[in-house]
A and B are shown apart, each in its own frame.
Chain A
Amino acid sequence: MIIERVLIFLLFMAGFSAIVGMKNIIKKVFALNLINAATVLLFILEGSRIGEQAPILGEGVHSIVDPIPQALMLTAIVIGVCVTALSLALAVRLYKATGSLDIEIITERLEREH
């Protein structure tokens, strides 16, 4: 359990530092996906502390894992996809407006416009 948690933490930190540190805005969007994924994994991992089987009730199925985290994460993933799609669309527009994906160049060029 400890190893998984450490790995998830590392994934989260990698994503978070990339959002702040990376200059390319597409990479920032992917980094946002990374921290989303880390959170999803954390929920699923903690939900599986009790039980072993997938929470699909049928004959002979017992000792299922906690289904609530999985249900929640389905929704969170859907929201993540929406946000990713929207932010990529914005990135395309920014590229069209400024001719660059580098956040520093974008701010500089936009500032000159004003």
Chain B
Amino acid sequence: MNQQQALLFAPIYLPLLSSALILLCKEFFTNKVRRVAEYFGMIIGMGLPLVVVFSLFGHIQTHGALETVIGSWTKEIGIVYRFDGLSLLMIVLAITITLPAWIYSRKVGPAHSSFTALLLIQNSSIAAISMTGDLFNLFVCLEVMGVVAYVLIASNQKGGAVFATFSYLMISSSAMVFFLLGTFSLYRLTGSLSYAGIAESLALLGSKDKALVAASLSLIVVPVLLRVAVMPLSLWLVDAHSRAPHAVSAILSGVLLKIPLFALVRVLAISELGGSIGLAISYAGAITALFGVLLALAQSDGKRLLAYHSISQIGYVVSAWGLALAQGLHTSAGILLLAASFFHAFSHALFKALLFLSVGTATDAGASRNVYTLRGANRMLQNQGEKLPLTMICFFVGALSITAIPPFNGYFSKTLLTYSLKGTLHYNLLTIAGVGTVASFIKLSRIFLPSKNTIEKVDRNLRPTFPFTIHLALVILATLCLITGLFAQQVIQCIGSVLPGKEQIIFENTFFYTAENLTKTFWTVASGIVLFFLAISKPGKRVLSVLKQLKGGFSDLFLGFAVALSALMGYLLLV
């Protein structure tokens, strides 16, 4: 094992090591040592892996992927870890979102050292998911990530959060049993668990046992998509994301929805069926984008509205992702779609984390989450001791990003995404979804309107000090939203350069600022405003209140799973 191959494990081992350190200090030392251990652990567990990953950037660009086998076994027996461009991007995404969310949690909670340790364990499992080349290892890492997510959601001690966790745990663990069944059937068929080994044997099998391969692939894909929350698998998401503590919501929507999706890219490369699975999922994604935004428009709870937007935005990502697989990752169109999909996933992670944190702060200050009644949130924040209205400014940065207004990153990622989808049904669905996004964010922004009832000003000296960490986290995320927007061209080139395609994706900034794209943005915003007024009109309200009633109970989670599984299997057997 040479030096570079040894470095591969740094993003997995370092977070684990530092979380062990933190837990140790928590048990045996005083509070002060505990604090120091937490900061030290974050530097070792998140900062160092980031440095390591970036140091491998050049290698990936010039030589392609790095591969190694755990424990120096031979490839046939051991677990293969493969670090390629996609792994790099996934690890960077996870760390970029986790750090600000952690900073935010410092003063508002959950700020105990086990929370820090959990975040580190999660990042370790994310790194492992991004690199693993073994189906069973993927199962284990997904379960580790899942268990950490359950604990994080339940760290909000309220009954609602606990019940959301319980439902998520039950559906997700049952789904993972199906994943095991899929793994089992592929193992029986091919005698191998590594992606490469399975792919080789499946290629030899040809069209023999096609039905069995299709069934086992669906058994593997659907449980993973459950974590990604593509409709009809998204019923668990809303409660879990809206009831978790704000910092956790940011991580859940920013990171945990995307990692399993991009891990699937490699799994689906094992069979020729990957393309048709991708196509089926991309349709589901486009429909998800549209319905998610409709449901979001109907919500009255601010955080629930954001949670439905996560579903909708992941629909954008998934439809480009699925078409990328359908085109094939060896074609330049496929690579472009994958790059667009990742860029949108990355910008969504940034602005959704920003929105969750800023809306969370504002609703906490207003002591209400109802977007119909909460007004004058900025004044309430001032009463909490906020001197500069940074929370409001950062909220608007996030809102302008998600509604795709230049120069924020959402405009660029959505434009690239829709450009690469042009001429498909998805394009039309996503355009309509964009209108809904504008309308629902006008609705959410009203919490910052001045209130009709006067809110008494608390005397300056009586105001509590506003936690500095909140502003720091918000400003980091908002700046990143702006930077990835202003330098979108470079960001896309970076993403494209590490992806496996031979042809480089080169964009001119003029591509984004064409008259066509800008007029499209203008019309989207204009129709969004019209839709907003329709939605607050009387008949509109009636329709929305019907939509609002649509939420699944516990057994609907399983119904959704069964429907998704049988739909995918049926589709694969037909093509």
Contacts and interface: CB of A to CB of B under 8 A. Distances in A.
B554 A107 contact: yes
A98 B494 CA distance: 51
A5 interface: no
Interface string A18-37: 01110001001100100110
A29 B188 CA distance: 29
Given A68-B193, A107-B553, A97 B184 contact: no
8 contacts: A35-B174, A39-B184, A46-B188, A82-B147, A93-B154, A93-B159, A110-B160, A114-B160
B544 interface: no
Contacts of B140: 75, 79
A90 B166 CA distance: 6
B162 A83 contact: no
A113 B162 CA distance: 14
Nearest to A83: B173
Given A83-B173, A94-B166, 6 more contacts: A39-B180, A75-B136, A86-B150, A86-B169, A90-B166, A107-B163
Given A20-B558, A86-B150, A90-B169, A113 B184 contact: no
A19 B165 contact: no
B163 A94 contact: yes
A76 interface: yes
B530 interface: no
A83 B174 contact: no
Contacts of B165: 90
A87 B162 CA distance: 10
B143 A97 contact: no
Contacts of A82: 143, 147
A93 B165 CA distance: 11
A16 B174 contact: yes
B163 A83 contact: no
A10 B147 CA distance: 28
B111 interface: no
B177 A36 contact: yes
Interface in B161-205: 162-163, 165-166, 169-170, 173-174, 177, 180-181, 184, 187-188, 193
A64 interface: no
Given A42-B184, A97-B159, A19 B174 contact: yes
Contacts of B160: 110, 113-114
Nearest to A82: B147
Contacts of B555: 20-21
Interface in A63-114: 68-69, 72, 75-76, 79, 82-83, 86-87, 90-91, 93-94, 97-98, 103, 106-107, 109-110, 113-114
Contacts of B188: 46
Q: Which 8 A-B pairs have the closest CB atoms?
A: A97-B159, A90-B166, A93-B162, A79-B143, A20-B558, A83-B173, A35-B177, A20-B555
Contacts of B170: 19, 28-29, 32, 87
A110 B180 contact: no
Contacts of A25: 166
Nearest to B158: A97
B151 interface: yes
Interface of B: 136, 139-140, 143, 147, 150-151, 154, 157-160, 162-163, 165-166, 169-170, 173-174, 177, 180-181, 184, 187-188, 193, 553-555, 558
A42 B177 CA distance: 12
A32 B166 contact: no
A98 B159 contact: yes
A110 B159 CA distance: 7
A82 B169 CA distance: 11
Contacts of A72: 136
Contacts of B554: 103, 107
A25 B180 CA distance: 24
Given A20-B555, A43-B184, A82-B147, A90 B162 contact: yes
Interface in A49-72: 68-69, 72
Nearest to B136: A72
Contacts of B181: 39, 42
A108 to B, nearest CB: 11
Most buried by A among B154, B159, B193: B159
B180 A76 contact: yes
Contacts of A21: 555
A83 B169 contact: yes
A87 B184 contact: no
A86 B162 contact: no
B173 A94 contact: no
Contacts of B162: 90, 93-94, 97
A21 B553 CA distance: 12
A42 B182 CA distance: 12
Contacts of B150: 86, 90
Nearest to B556: A20
Most buried by B among A16, A29, A90: A90
